[in-house]
Amino acid sequence: MFEYSRWSEPFMKQKETENQTVTRRKPRQERSQEKVALMFEAAMQLLEEGDLRSLSTNAVAAKAGISIGTLYQYFDGKDALLDALVARELGQMSTRILTPLEQEAQKKAAGATAEERTRAVVRAALSTYGGRSRVHRLLIQHAMNRPPGHHLTSMYARLIEMFQSPPESGAAPAARALNAAEAFVITYAMAGVLRSYSQAEEPPPQAALEDALVSLVLGFLARISAEA
């Protein structure tokens, strides 16, 4: 967004060094939280129009209507800002995916079928990944390139744990809990589809993808049931 001549590089490097030594503020107060929210929203709007490479702290500050100094009070650079934004956005995505899964698990005794439970989870996941898809695609890309890995690891771990939980009585088609390998495979098979869906420039219709993903999960569970 902003370009600097080669004569300004020494100054910018010095400025970056100074910024790295500053103790960052924690957005505890409401006013501080509002500033951070403004920065996050500005970054997301810029990502909707551009890409990770073109995003800059100067552009975010200008878009948010704050000074660059204010931004550096909270973040020591673009990567730190994006890391925090990833944690917020993907954390919310995880919650939106896991909540219906846990709710549907509680409905087993009420007679919900395996397909109904699976479809509810798949629909929630696709809706989450499909919302603001360009921004989420870029955030996932950023997260995958940052150590120690992306911010969806905890969600995948929770899904694996839930797949290994003992099934309720009569909860066909699965006649037993999945073992660790089976739970890992089905979780990351779903995750791979969702990640590709979020990154695709021209993804298939959501309804068709929902049907296909539900069939994938149910087919896998049916095979396990037949072998039990």
- DSSP for 21-89 reads HSPPPP--SHHHHHHHHHHHHHHHHHHHHS-TTT--HHHHHHHHTS-HHHHHHH-SSHHHHHHHHHHHH
**45-100 residue pLDDT tens:** 999 988 999 999 999 999 999 999 999 999 999 999 999 998 887 777 777 767 76
Burial class (CB in 10 A: 0-12, 13-18, 19+), 125: buried
Number of H helices, E strands in the chain: 10, 0
Helix 78-106 and helix 114-130: axis angle, to 10°?
160
The structure tokens 């501080």 sit at: 32
The reported pLDDT for the residue numbered 138 is: 83
The pLDDT, as a whole number, for residue 81 is 95
Residues 6+ apart with CB under 8 A from 123: 100, 210
The stretches in the chain having pLDDT less than 70 are: 1-28, 97, 100-112, 128-133, 147-152, 166-176, 228
